[in-house]
């Protein structure tokens, strides 16, 4: 590992033992741990600035409003959005995708219209489109995944017809670690005059994201996977599309006027932000993004590439281990099975070694079916992980094999 890359000390939760062993946290794809600066930002807001935002004229409300809107600026800069009003705060990637499904899709789609998704999608980028299909009569078409865990782009292009209305695809698979060629997929979609939504939940904390370079129409992501608090997410959308969409939720702060029989709504971004938002956690999320910027996303990408290379070699040496997903272009997510050992048993044994991994279907049951497995183990890396953590995982797996021999 590159000696100069060491940020574990910024994460207090990692300085503990589990079952008498040093904690090795390898579940960042589910949720990342939080640096001290993010927790400090939460505490500072509640101790010094807490008030409701946008409508108060007193000092606390003015300070809270400024910090909240500064967070929107931070997100805009981080993903290189063209306009501030293209940043919509929601509760997470799941709500962002549902917002597009119900606001954009439900008002447009008709029976027989088509939505293209892929076999590697998280349930959050499958179920909302299934619900929309039931509501409108639209149908889902699916991009297949190869044995190594890559999307079939030739097949993808053949799925487009005059009835295709939307593409919804993941940037980085939460199971395979595959980094999909989103820019190329966007170019193909736009050649057919079809907008594309990208689930960026796994991408934002691991690789630089530039929505203008990608040219995607929607991009959704969550705070908690990017070293920020839970309960916060962002929907980026191009101005023309967001302007054309009706409000998703109704309530306070998204209205201009309310009468008993009709209302008028604010302009972007506020027409999609009904009610009191998660003020403190949104402000703390901006702190997490500043923290990532201080480290540098290119430096993070390089560090994780080193871990991927090292872990690939170490895991390949484990007897009876079958890797799920070996794409050439991937990030620090390793899913695998051990012959004749149930993933939950593996996870339990590793836990007693202080190693936290995920066991199950990872909210990707169609992908499990594609690889003919009911579940698998997933080890996923963050900026606090090192080659020593990979060594601990490999040693733990060898211990599993000894126990179940």
Return all residues near 404 (Cβ < 8 A) that are at least 6 apart.
Answer: 338, 340, 341, 345
d(CA 201, CA 301): 16
One of 37, 216, 363, 376 is an active-site residue; which one? Answer: 363
Domains of the chain as residue ranges with CATH = 8-30+297-404 (3.90.1150.10), 38-294 (3.40.640.10)
Reported as a single tens digit per residue, the pLDDT across 348-376 is 999 999 999 999 999 999 999 999 999 99
Q: What is the pTM of this model?
A: 0.97
Residue 55 has what pLDDT?
A: 83
Reported as a single tens digit per residue, the pLDDT across 230-284 is 999 999 999 999 999 999 999 999 999 999 999 999 999 999 999 999 999 999 9
- Edge-to-edge strand order for the sheet containing 321-324? 321-324, 333-338, 376-380, 358-360
Residue 378 has pLDDT above 80, yes or no: yes
d(CA 159, CA 157): 5
Reported as a single tens digit per residue, the pLDDT across 303-317 is 999 999 999 999 999
SS3 78: helix
**Mean pLDDT comparison of 6-10, 97-101, 247-251, highest-scoring range:** 97-101
pLDDT tier at 4 (50, 70, 90 boundaries)? low
Active site residue 216: no
Residue 5 has what pLDDT?
A: 78
């Amino acid at each position: 590992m590159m000696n100069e890359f060491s940020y574990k000390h910024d994460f207090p939760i990692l300085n503990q033992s589990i079952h008498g062993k040093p904690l090795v946290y390898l579940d960042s794809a589910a949720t990342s741990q939080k640096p001290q600066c993010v927790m400090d930002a939460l505490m500072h807001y509640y101790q010094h600035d807490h008030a409701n935002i946008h409508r108060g004229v007193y000092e606390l409300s003015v300070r809270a409003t400024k910090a909240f809107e500064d967070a929107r600026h931070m997100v805009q800069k981080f993903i290189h959005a063209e306009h501030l009003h293209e940043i919509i705060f929601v509760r997470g990637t799941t709500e962002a995708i549902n917002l597009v499904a119900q606001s954009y899709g439900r008002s447009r789609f008709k029976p027989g219209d088509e939505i293209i998704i892929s076999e590697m999608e998280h349930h959050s980028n499958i179920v909302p489109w299934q619900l929309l299909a039931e509501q409108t009569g639209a149908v889902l078409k699916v991009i297949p995944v190869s044995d190594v865990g890559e999307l079939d782009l030739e097949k993808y292009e053949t799925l487009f017809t005059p009835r295709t209305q939307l593409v919804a695809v993941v940037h980085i698979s939460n199971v395979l670690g595959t980094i999909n060629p989103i820019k190329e997929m966007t170019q193909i979609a736009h050649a057919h005059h079809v907008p594309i939504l990208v689930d960026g939940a796994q991408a934002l904390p691991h690789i630089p994201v530039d929505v203008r370079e990608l040219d995607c129409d929607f991009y959704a992501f969550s705070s908690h996977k990017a070293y920020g608090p839970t309960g916060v997410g962002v929907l980026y959308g191009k101005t023309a599309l967001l302007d054309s969409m009706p409000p998703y939720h109704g309530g306070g702060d998204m209205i201009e006027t309310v009468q008993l029989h009709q209302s008028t709504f604010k302009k972007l971004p506020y027409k999609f932000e009904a009610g009191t938002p998660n003020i403190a956690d949104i402000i703390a999320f901006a702190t997490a993004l500043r923290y990532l910027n201080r480290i540098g996303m290119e430096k993070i990408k390089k560090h994780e590439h080193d871990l991927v290379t090292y872990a690939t070699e170490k895991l390949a040496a484990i007897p009876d281990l079958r890797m799920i997903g070996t794409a050439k272009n991937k990030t620090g997510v390793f899913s695998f099975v051990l012959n004749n050992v149930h993933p939950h048993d593996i996870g339990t044994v590793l836990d007693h070694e202080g190693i936290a991994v995920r066991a199950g279907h990872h909210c990707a049951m169609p992908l499990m079916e594609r690889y003919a497995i009911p579940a698998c183990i997933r080890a996923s890396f963050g900026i606090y992980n090192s080659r020593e953590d990979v060594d601990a995982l490999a040693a733990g797996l060898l211990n599993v094999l000894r126990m179940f021999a």
